[in-house]
């Protein structure tokens, strides 16, 4: 039982750790103040009283996620204001909540990489029997105490590197043709010098090779060739074979003569 409990505790711990690693990298939410302006101006919008301030902002995956809140009175009916898009995108995490007084509370969020610029949005207002229209609105955020994005340093490095590469390319292009010719002549002179040195070093090598060839020819002339050795060996072998064959023939003739002579002697005695 104890082993099973330990195994279950270990698996649960591993699952929790994996879940924590899969969560996006986020920071704590901070409050950020803003103004609701008439689109393209610095005038406060008529809808400004409906936007609850401040908003909350946090960093998620190297982006700012801003959550905003719109509150409308009960007498204006249920949720008369609707956000169509913010900063060119549809709003995220939209929630509709009514409080105890019956007021409508609309929460939504949007993500961006730059809150120093003005953020444009489009909303729809629909108060039944009173007013119905769509309006553009501009939000201007106060970036004091805004959490920094980690990707800013990387983008700065890339921009500085690209600027350095551009300046280097412009310097190369700015060279005159006379300078390019001088550089080419210098390179040719540098290449010709090692070639001359290699020729000078090759001369004694050639002499050494000729002397080595002469020594080889002298040694070859002093020693008998392998072909002459093999020919003499072949001649010796053939002479030995001929002498052996002649000796065998003579022996056979002698034996035959002895046998015939013996038989003739025996026949004469019989007669």
Check residue 18 and give its pLDDT. 52
Does 74 reside within a domain? yes
For residue 67, being part of any structural domain is answered with: yes
Spatial separation of the C-alpha atoms in residues 152 and 148, rounded to whole Å:
8
Q: Which residues pair with 122 in a beta bridge?
A: 85, 136
* DSSP labels, 42-87: SSBPTTGGGEEEEEEEEEBSSSEEEEEEEEE-GGG-S--EEEEEET
The 10s digit of each residue's pLDDT in 136-182 is: 999 999 998 888 886 444 444 555 565 555 655 555 444 555 666 67
The burial class, CB within 10 Å (0-12 / 13-18 / 19+), for 153 is: exposed
The Cα–Cα gap between 157 and 165 comes to 12
| Mean of the per-residue pLDDT values of the chain | 73
Mean pLDDT confidence for 208-214: 47
67-123 per-position pLDDT tens digit = 999 999 999 999 999 999 999 999 999 999 999 999 999 999 999 999 999 999 999
237 lies in a domain?
no
* 55/16: higher pLDDT: 55
d(C-alpha 26, C-alpha 58), whole Å? 7
pLDDT exceeding 90 applies to what percent of the chain?
Answer: 42
Using pLDDT thresholds of 50, 70 and 90, give the confidence band for residue 42.
very high
Would the pLDDT of 129 be above 80?
yes
For the beta carbon of residue 32, count every other beta carbon within 10 angstroms. 23
Our count of domains for the chain comes to 1
> What CATH number did the domain enclosing 34 receive?
2.60.40.1850
Please report the pLDDT score of residue 60 as a whole number: 93
Give the pLDDT mean for 259-267: 67
| Across 1-9, average pLDDT | 61
User: Where does the pLDDT of residue 260 fall: very low under 50, low under 70, confident under 90, or very high at 90 and above?
Assistant: confident
In a domain? residue 171: no
Contact 28, 65 (CB under 8 A): no
Distance of CA 38 to the CA centre of its chain: 49
Q: What is the distance between the alpha carbons of residues 99 and 103, in angstroms, rounded to a whole number? A: 6
pLDDT at 221 over 70: no
Burial class of residue 120 (count of CB atoms within 10 Å of its CB; 0-12, 13-18, 19+): middle
Q: Residue 37 pLDDT more than 90?
A: yes
> Domain range spanning residue 68?
30-150
Residue 103 lies in a domain: yes
Please check whether residue 157 lies inside any domain of the structure: no
Contacts of 130 (CB under 8 A, 6+ apart): 76
Burial, 90: exposed, middle or buried (Cβ in 10 Å; 0-12, 13-18, 19+)? exposed
Q: According to the model, what pLDDT value does residue 47 have? A: 92
Instruction: Look at residue 27 and tell me whether its pLDDT is greater than 60.
Output: no
pLDDT of residue 231: 46
R_g over Cα of the chain? 55
Please indicate, yes or no, if residue 175 is contained in any of the structural domains: no
Asked if the structure places residue 22 within a domain, the reply is no
Helix and strand counts by DSSP (H, E) for the chain: 4, 9
């Amino acid at each position: 039982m104890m082993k099973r409990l330990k195994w279950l505790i270990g698996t649960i711990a591993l699952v929790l750790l994996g879940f924590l690693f899969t969560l996006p990298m986020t920071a704590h939410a901070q409050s950020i103040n803003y103004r609701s302006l008439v689109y393209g101006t610095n005038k406060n919008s008529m809808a400004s009283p409906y936007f609850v301030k401040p908003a909350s902002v946090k960093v998620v995956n190297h982006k700012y996620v801003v959550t905003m809140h719109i509150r409308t009175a009960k007498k204006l009916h249920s949720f008369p204001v609707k956000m169509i898009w913010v900063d060119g995108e549809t709003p995220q995490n939209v929630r509709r909540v009514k409080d105890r007084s019956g007021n409508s509370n609309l929460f939504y969020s949007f993500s961006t990489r730059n809150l120093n610029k003005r953020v444009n949005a489009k909303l729809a207002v629909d108060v039944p029997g009173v007013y119905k229209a769509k309006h553009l609105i501009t939000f201007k955020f106060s970036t004091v105490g805004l959490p920094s994005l980690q990707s800013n340093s990387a983008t700065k490095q890339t921009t500085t590197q690209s600027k350095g590469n551009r300046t280097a390319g412009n310097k190369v292009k700015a060279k005159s043709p006379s300078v390019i010719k001088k550089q080419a002549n210098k390179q040719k002179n540098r290449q010709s010098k090692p070639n001359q040195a290699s020729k000078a070093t090759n001369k004694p090598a050639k002499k050494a090779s000729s002397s080595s060839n002469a020594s080889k020819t002298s040694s070859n002339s002093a020693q008998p060739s392998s072909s002459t050795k093999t020919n003499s060996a072949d001649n010796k072998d053939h002479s030995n074979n001929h002498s052996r064959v002649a000796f065998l023939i003579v022996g056979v003739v002698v034996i035959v003569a002895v046998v015939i002579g013996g038989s003739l002697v025996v026949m004469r005695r019989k007669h």
